[in-house]
Chains A and B, each alone.
Chain A
Amino acid sequence: MKNDPVLFGQVSRFVGSLAQCSELGIKPVLAASNVLTLELPYSQSIIGNPDTGVIHGGAITTLMDTASGSVVICGLDEFELCPTLDLRVDYMHAAEPGKPVFAKATCYKITKNIIFTRCIAYQDSDEEPVAQCVATFMRIGAEATPLSFRQMVMGAQSGGGKGTNSGAKSAAKSGTEQKGQE
């Protein structure tokens, strides 16, 4: 999967504005059309079991909520804040202490009101997930998100309008629209 520098910049600015993500050190590693991977570094502060050093599920929930909520940037033409409606997390096995955890999220359906996402958390390989998550997000519309925040996330190029996004994303988006019209 190739990294899209424009989307990567947008996601980085958005994730960077979330205090809890700075606290845990959550940062993006790859952003492309409809796909986003974030990294949660291992640290003493997120340990849930002091005897084994295994991190707490809550830190993984935060990682997956952030990945699922931020991948909407990779799926929408224009940034809008999307509050989480629900989140269902299955924990397959404990994360191995000392290693980072990655979360790979995709939007599998975007409608006028709702965005549906899937996400897996893994360490060595995404074929051996630590946890899996499905979530839904409410769309409140770009207008409901303060313009200054939108511009901060979209980058200096954007005046709040469309057309400054990556070709890959616009292509994917128009593809979806065409399908919807058929």
Chain B
Amino acid sequence: MDLRKLVAKAHETGDYSELIATIPYAVTIGLECERFGDEIMFKLPSKKSNIGNPILPAIHGGVIGGFMEISASLYLLMFQDMPTLPKIVDISLDYLRAGLDRDTYVECKLTRQGSRVANVIVTAWQKSRSEPIALARAHFLFT
């Protein structure tokens, strides 16, 4: 599968669904992606099977982490001209608020890119960008 071609096509049409459909885990949690101008926003629509806390109910912390991780790797794939998805080295997650059973959004920011490794900061929010539910820093290795 030529990911570069898929990325180019997605950038051209603004439809990222075909690219996302190639990653089964992204499909399992229900990840979506939208472009606004030159910016990319990742979305995780509310989904019953993503719940981890049945009392609130709230999204499983692992799903929030997985969503942030996959968003960061897709972000690198889309903007750094890579032939494959980068490999995750580590991720450090701070949970700030319960991720309630509603749509969640993720924004990524490339902090530093070297020749072999990239550092990405990821912010996840629901109600408002100014009230993030989780923050993450992740390192990725290019293969």
Interface residue ranges, A against B (CB under 8 Å): 17-23, 44-51, 55-59, 61-66, 69, 81, 83-91, 94, 145-146, 149
A146 cross-chain contacts in B, Cβ below 8 A: 55
Interface size bucket, B side?
35 or more
CB 8 Å contact bits of B61-95 with A (1 = contact, 0 = none): 11101110110000000000000110111111111
CB-CB under 8 A from B1, the residues of chain A are: 50-51
Asked if A81 contacts B55 (CB within 8 A), the reply is yes
Asked if B24 lies at the interface with its beta carbon under 8 angstroms from chain A, I say yes
The answer to whether A48 touches B23 (Cβ under 8 A) is yes
B residues 35-76 in Cβ contact with A at 8 Å: 48-55, 59-63, 65-67, 69-70
Are the CB atoms of B60 and A18 closer together than 8 Å? yes
- Can you name the residue of chain B whose Cβ is closest to the Cβ of A62? B62
Inter-chain residue pair count (beta carbon < 8 A): 138
Does B98 count as interface, using CB distance less than 8 angstroms?
A: yes
Q: Is B90 a contact of A58 with CB atoms below 8 Å?
A: no
**Given A66-B62, A146-B55, are A59 and B25 neighbors across the interface (CB < 8 Å)?**
yes
B110 sits at the interface (CB 8 A): no
CB pair A62 B28 closer than 8 Å: no
A19 and B66 CA atoms in complex are apart in Å by 15
Assess whether A84 is in contact with B61, with CB atoms less than 8 Å apart.
yes
Which of B51, B62, B65 has the largest number of chain A CB atoms within 10 A? Answer: B62
Q: A50-B22, A57-B69, A61-B62 are in contact. Are A17 and B54 (CB under 8 A)?
A: yes
Given B22, B49, B65, which contacts A19 in the complex, CB threshold below 8 Å? Answer: B49
Residues of B within 8 A of A66 (CB): 52, 60, 62
